[in-house]
């Protein structure tokens, strides 16, 4: 699993003109899934997300985690995170998991994140054409791949 975390002061997801998710302070997380991903990847990533210290403390130093900042989360599925651009100019998405594998893992990722945070996580809609708006706070953008743990 690969994620792109963007610390935001606000973010939203719109599908067919309908706003389906909206938060103020927190994380917008783009999630890419491959066939080899497992529940272990989910648990490792959600723990990392909840404890990632990228929010300002009383001295505006990045010492606080999402829980400390009482931040919210939107998770958006994004198979293009696993694009291969080695050959030619048209990306290949062959590494990205097909929906029969990706959808259950995506749903489990969201559920585990809700357990770890102790609150609801908002989402886009898997496979939909989504319009994502955000104000990246900082800017802070972090990429984490569960296959690169060491």
The domain of 73 spans 2-145
* Confidence at residue 12, expressed as pLDDT on a 0 to 100 scale: 98
User: Average pLDDT in the 45-51 region?
Assistant: 96
* Confidence at residue 25, expressed as pLDDT on a 0 to 100 scale: 97
150 in any annotated domain: no
User: Average pLDDT in the 38-62 region?
Assistant: 96
Angle at 104 between CA 17 and CA 132, to 5 degrees: 25
* Confidence at residue 149, expressed as pLDDT on a 0 to 100 scale: 83
127 in any annotated domain: yes
User: Average pLDDT in the 136-142 region?
Assistant: 96
* Confidence at residue 123, expressed as pLDDT on a 0 to 100 scale: 98
User: Average pLDDT in the 98-123 region?
Assistant: 97
Query: How many domains would you assign to the chain?
Result: 1
Residue 102, classed as helix, strand or coil, is: helix
Residue 138 CB-half CA count within 13 A: 18
68 in any annotated domain: yes
User: Average pLDDT in the 68-88 region?
Assistant: 93
115 in any annotated domain: yes
pLDDT over 90 for what percent of the chain? 91
* Confidence at residue 96, expressed as pLDDT on a 0 to 100 scale: 93
* Confidence at residue 78, expressed as pLDDT on a 0 to 100 scale: 93
> Cα separation of 69 and 54, whole Å?
10
CATH of the domain at 46: 3.50.80.10
Please list the active-site residues: 78-80
Token pair belonging to 109: 């990722």
Question: pTM for the complete prediction?
Answer: 0.94
Round the average pLDDT of the chain to a whole number and report it: 95
């Amino acid at each position: 699993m690969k994620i792109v975390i963007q610390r935001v002061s606000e973010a939203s997801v719109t599908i067919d003109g309908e706003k389906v998710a909206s938060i103020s302070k927190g994380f917008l997380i783009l999630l890419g899934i491959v066939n080899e991903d497992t529940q272990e990847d989910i648990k490792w990533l959600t723990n990392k997300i909840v404890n990632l210290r990228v929010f300002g403390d009383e001295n505006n130093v990045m010492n606080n985690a999402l829980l400390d900042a009482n931040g919210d989360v939107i998770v958006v599925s994004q198979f293009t995170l696993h694009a291969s651009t080695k050959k030619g100019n048209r990306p290949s998405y062959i590494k990205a998991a097909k929906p029969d594998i990706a959808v259950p893992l995506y749903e489990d990722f969201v559920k585990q994140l809700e357990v770890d945070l102790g609150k609801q996580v908002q989402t886009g809609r898997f496979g939909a054409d989504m319009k994502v708006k955000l104000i990246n706070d900082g800017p802070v953008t972090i990429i984490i791949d569960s296959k690169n743990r060491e």
